[in-house]
Amino acid sequence: MKYTIIIQWSEEDQCYTVLLPEFTNVMQPCTHGDTYEEALKNAQEVLKLLIETALESGESLPEPQTLGKSLNVA
């Protein structure tokens, strides 16, 4: 499944914060990192944990958001 991961710099926290918008039942931001790469790694770990926990408990997963159109980057 392909879920949205939003990573943005927080001046207040002086780190990159991570939002997982499809997971509305999780406190947001859900993780962070001192670097963009660390924030992405932490986001992937949280996402994996959320999916595993939902599947183990028989909960349904949220529908991934998708773009209606492909982006062509030249």
pLDDT of res. 67: 72
Residue ranges per structural domain of the chain: 6-56
Number of C-beta neighbours around residue 53 at 10 A: 10
Tens of pLDDT, residues 5-59:
999 999 999 999 999 999 998 899 999 999 999 999 999 999 999 999 999 999 9
Distance CA 53, CA 61 (A): 10
* Residues paired with residue 8 on neighbouring β-strands, in sequence order: 17
Query: How far from the centroid of its chain's Cα atoms is residue 27's Cα?
Result: 12
